[in-house]
């Protein structure tokens, strides 16, 4: 496919969003769609943004990244902190540049719901950098006391933050103490002015088997050596080494349990994480869900994208479905 201008009579900017639980096949589908659309893939994964964290984050392979342009992967060092606001700024800049170029279409792909919403809903995010010292002081008080503080300074925020959600509680207090204003008064939405096409991937109970297979593949690909290398370079206290997969392998390397036990923990924790992702994304009614295992998946999703795109024509778009390139095969 030469370019968007060659394939369509007029370029209309929009964004395809591919979401779903971990191990559902989002990256592979996105590459196939991007090839048909002459598109670019923008990652929406809170760990794939960090360099050197490769195997355990299931980054798109080098072969996949060579087929179509990929952005928002490997954009910062493991010792730095990229806030959601930072991610949003960079993603919005890239989408705007792609739209202005009028030769490609962007696909936002990933399982980090907050990153997706930052773009799709245009979340208004307080520009407050992490305050490590303040977080440590608050964390030492315990979640119960911190939540009580939050109820006093920002009762509106506690309507949306669960009493056991330590991460969001600390963030809300951090913003309050840094700015003197409740986080609830600094949040909102400013949705983009271009259309969105949501595609969701899931595979029901088969996801358990996919997660187990992928975990064993990571081990075979050298995951243990990757974690050991990261510990040697950055120290075992690196915050990213507390995250899913890395924490369990770090524990094994420290002599706590066997490798088989670490693998079992990763599989169980990943399944729990996938359940949370499903809960998050099921709230978005605009998502059209597809079964990862269905025959002809790429063609089915491609047909759906074409139908949605054609629907834009009814809203004064200058081209219609007859101008779509014929899907291969």
Residue range 265-304, pLDDT digits in tens = 999 999 999 999 999 999 999 999 999 999 999 999 999 9
Q: Write out the two tokens for 3.
A: 């370019």
User: Tens of pLDDT along 116-137?
Assistant: 999 999 999 888 888 888 988 9
The residue ranges of every structural domain in the chain are 4-124+191-323, 132-186
Q: Tell the residue number behind the tokens 């088969």, with chain if given.
A: 206
Question: 132-186: which CATH architecture?
Answer: Orthogonal Bundle (1.10)
Q: Which pLDDT band holds residue 7 (cuts at 50, 70, 90)?
A: very low
- Helix 206-220 vs helix 259-281: crossing angle, to nearest 10: 130
What's the rounded Cα separation, in Å, for the pair 299 and 29?
Answer: 10
User: Tens of pLDDT along 172-218?
Assistant: 999 999 899 999 998 889 999 999 999 999 999 999 999 999 999 99
Report pLDDT for 314.
53
What's the rounded Cα separation, in Å, for the pair 266 and 6?
Answer: 47
Q: Which pLDDT band holds residue 162 (cuts at 50, 70, 90)?
A: confident
User: Tens of pLDDT along 141-154?
Assistant: 999 999 999 999 99
Q: Tell the residue number behind the tokens 């080098």, with chain if given.
A: 62
Report pLDDT for 315.
59
What's the rounded Cα separation, in Å, for the pair 131 and 150?
Answer: 17
Q: Which pLDDT band holds residue 312 (cuts at 50, 70, 90)?
A: low
pLDDT at 328 over 50: no
**CA angle centred on 97, ends 93 and 102, rounded to 5°:** 150
Q: Which pLDDT band holds residue 5 (cuts at 50, 70, 90)?
A: very low
What is the arithmetic mean of pLDDT over 5-31? 83
Q: Which pLDDT band holds residue 318 (cuts at 50, 70, 90)?
A: very low
In whole angstroms, what separates CA 328 from the centre of its chain? 29
% of the chain beyond a pLDDT of 70: 91
Under 8 Å between Cβ of 59 and 218: no
> What does pLDDT average to over the chain?
90
- This prediction has a pTM of 0.85
Q: Which pLDDT band holds residue 65 (cuts at 50, 70, 90)?
A: very high
17 or 104, greater pLDDT: 17
167 or 327, greater pLDDT: 167
Q: Name the CATH code of domain 4-124+191-323 (choices 3.30.450.20, 3.40.50.720, 3.30.428.10, 3.40.50.300).
A: 3.40.50.300
Name residue 202's beta-bridge partners.
291
What is the arithmetic mean of pLDDT over 216-239? 97
User: Tens of pLDDT along 83-114?
Assistant: 899 999 999 999 999 999 877 899 999 999 99
Q: Write out the two tokens for 174.
A: 């951090």
CB-count burial class (<10 Å; 0-12, 13-18, 19+) for 144: exposed
Q: How many CB atoms lie within 10 A of CB 71?
A: 18
Same fold, 4-124+191-323 and 132-186: no
Q: Which pLDDT band holds residue 322 (cuts at 50, 70, 90)?
A: very low
Distances (CA, A) of 196 to 30, 193, 206, 288, 309: 15, 9, 28, 12, 10
Nearest of 311, 279, 280 to residue 120 by alpha carbon: 280
Report pLDDT for 316.
39
94 or 323, greater pLDDT: 94
Pair type for strands 123-124 and 188-189: antiparallel
Report pLDDT for 131.
85
């Amino acid at each position: 496919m030469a370019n968007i201008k060659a394939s369509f009579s007029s370029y209309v900017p929009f964004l395809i969003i591919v979401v779903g639980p971990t191990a559902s096949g989002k990256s592979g589908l996105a590459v196939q769609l991007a090839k048909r659309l002459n598109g670019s893939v923008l990652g929406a994964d809170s760990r794939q943004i960090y360099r050197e964290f490769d195997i355990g984050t299931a980054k798109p392979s080098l072969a996949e990244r060579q087929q179509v342009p990929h952005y928002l992967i490997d954009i910062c060092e493991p010792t730095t902190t990229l806030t959601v606001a930072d991610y949003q700024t960079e993603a919005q800049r890239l989408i705007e540049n792609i739209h202005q170029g009028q030769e490609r279409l962007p696909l936002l792909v990933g399982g980090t719901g907050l990153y997706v919403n930052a773009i799709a809903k245009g979340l208004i995010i307080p520009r407050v950098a992490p305050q490590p010292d303040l977080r440590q002081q608050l964390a030492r008080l315990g979640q119960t006391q911190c939540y009580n503080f939050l109820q006093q300074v920002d009762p509106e925020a506690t309507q949306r933050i669960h009493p056991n959600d330590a991460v969001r509680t600390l963030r809300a207090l951090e913003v309050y103490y840094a700015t003197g204003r409740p986080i609830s008064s600094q949040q909102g939405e400013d949705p983009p002015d271009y259309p969105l096409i949501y595609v969701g991937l899931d595979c029901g109970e088969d996801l358990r088997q996919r997660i187990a297979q992928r975990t064993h593949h990571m081990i075979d690909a050298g995951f243990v050596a990757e974690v050991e290398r990261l510990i040697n370079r950055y120290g075992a206290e690196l915050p990213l080494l507390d995250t899913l997969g890395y924490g369990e392998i770090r524990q094994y390397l420290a002599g706590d349990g066997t490798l088989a036990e670490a693998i079992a923990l990763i599989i169980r924790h990943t399944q729990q994480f996938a359940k949370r992702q499903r809960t998050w994304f099921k709230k978005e009614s605009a998502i059209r869900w597809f079964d990862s295992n269905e025959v002809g998946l790429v063609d089915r999703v491609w047909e759906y994208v074409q139908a949605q795109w054609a629907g834009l024509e009814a809203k004064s778009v200058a081209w219609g479905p007859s101008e779509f390139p014929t899907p291969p095969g």
